[in-house]
Amino acid sequence: MSSVAQMYPQTAMQQVMIENLIKQYGPLRALNGVSFGIHGGEWVALMGPSGSGKTTLINILGGLDTLTSGRVIVDGVDLSKLSENELVRYRAEKVGFVFQQFHLVPYLTALENVMLAQYFHSVTDEEGAEEALKRVGLGDRLTHLPAQLSGGEQQRVAIARALINQPKLILADEPTGNLDEANETIVLQIFQELHHSGHTILMVTHDPDIARQADRRIELAHGHLHFDTALHGPSQPLNCPMVNTADCCTSVSTDDEIRFDHLLEQIWVCAEEGKPAQAECLRASGASGKLSTVPEEPATRVLSRMAELHLVALQNGEALLTPMGSQRARDVVRRHRLAERLFKDTFSVDETEAHTQACKFEHIISPELDQRICTFLGHPKTCPHGNPIPPGDCCNGEPRA
Ligand code: ADP
Ligand code: MG
- Which parts of 138-223 are beta strand (E)? 169-173, 200-204, 216-221
For every residue of 11-25, DSSP letters joined together read -TTEEEEEEEEEEEE
Same domain, 155 and 297: no
Q: Which atom of ligand 1 is nearest to the CA of 49?
A: 3
**Atom 1 in ligand 1: residue holding the nearest Cα:** 51
Please check whether residue 237 lies inside any domain of the structure: no
How far is the C-alpha of 211 from the C-alpha of 208, rounded, in Å? 5
Please check whether residue 366 lies inside any domain of the structure: yes
Same domain, 141 and 283: no
Please check whether residue 293 lies inside any domain of the structure: yes
Q: Which atom of ligand 1 is nearest to the CA of 173?
A: 2
Please check whether residue 187 lies inside any domain of the structure: yes
Ligand 1 centroid distance, CA of 104 (Å)? 24
Residue 356: CATH number of its domain: 1.10.60.10
Residue 268: CATH number of its domain: 1.10.10
Ligand 1 centroid distance, CA of 30 (Å)? 6
Of 24, 55, 61, 100, the one to substitute when testing ligand 1's pocket (max ligand atoms within 8 A of C-beta) is 55
How far is the C-alpha of 339 from the C-alpha of 360, rounded, in Å? 9
Of 21, 22, 25, 66, the one to substitute when testing ligand 1's pocket (max ligand atoms within 8 A of C-beta) is 25
Ligand 2 centroid distance, CA of 54 (Å)? 5
CA nearest neighbour of 162 among 216, 115, 97, 215: 97
CA nearest neighbour of 203 among 161, 167, 166, 170: 170
Query: For position 269, what pLDDT does the model report?
Result: 93
Count of all residues that appear for the chain in the document: 401
Same domain, 193 and 286: no
Confidence class for position 398, pLDDT limits 50, 70, 90:
low
Flag whether the pTM goes above 0.75.
no
Domain count of the fold of the chain: 3
Residue 104: CATH number of its domain: 3.40.50.300
Confidence class for position 373, pLDDT limits 50, 70, 90:
confident
pLDDT, the chain, mean: 83
Taking the CA of 222 as reference, the closest ligand is: 1
Q: Which atom of ligand 1 is nearest to the CA of 223?
A: 10
CA distances from 215 to 152, 239, 271, 365, 368 (A): 24, 22, 45, 36, 42
How far is the C-alpha of 51 from the C-alpha of 25, rounded, in Å? 13
* Among 323, 339, 370, residue at a domain's last position: 323
Confidence class for position 236, pLDDT limits 50, 70, 90:
low
SS3 assignment, position 119: helix
Ligand 2 centroid distance, CA of 50 (Å)? 7
**Atom 20 in ligand 1: residue holding the nearest Cα:** 56
How far is the C-alpha of 100 from the C-alpha of 368, rounded, in Å? 35
Ligand 2 centroid distance, CA of 48 (Å)? 9
Compute the Cα dihedral for 211, 215, 221, 222 and give only its sign.
negative
Please check whether residue 236 lies inside any domain of the structure: no
* Domain coverage including residue 177: 5-228
The highest-confidence range among 66-70, 181-185, 287-291, 370-374, by mean pLDDT, is 66-70
Please check whether residue 375 lies inside any domain of the structure: yes
Q: Which atom of ligand 1 is nearest to the CA of 59?
A: 6
**Atom 16 in ligand 1: residue holding the nearest Cα:** 51
Residue 248 predicted with pLDDT over 70: no
Residues flanking ligand 1, CB < 6 Å? 25, 28, 30, 48, 50-56
Same domain, 26 and 115: yes
Ligand 2 centroid distance, CA of 96 (Å)? 17
Same domain, 92 and 202: yes
Tell me the per-residue pLDDT of 282-295, one tens digit each, with 9 for 90 and over: 887 654 433 445 56
Same domain, 137 and 207: yes
**Atom 7 in ligand 1: residue holding the nearest Cα:** 55
Query: For position 31, what pLDDT does the model report?
Result: 95
Q: What is the largest CA-CA distance in the chain?
A: 81
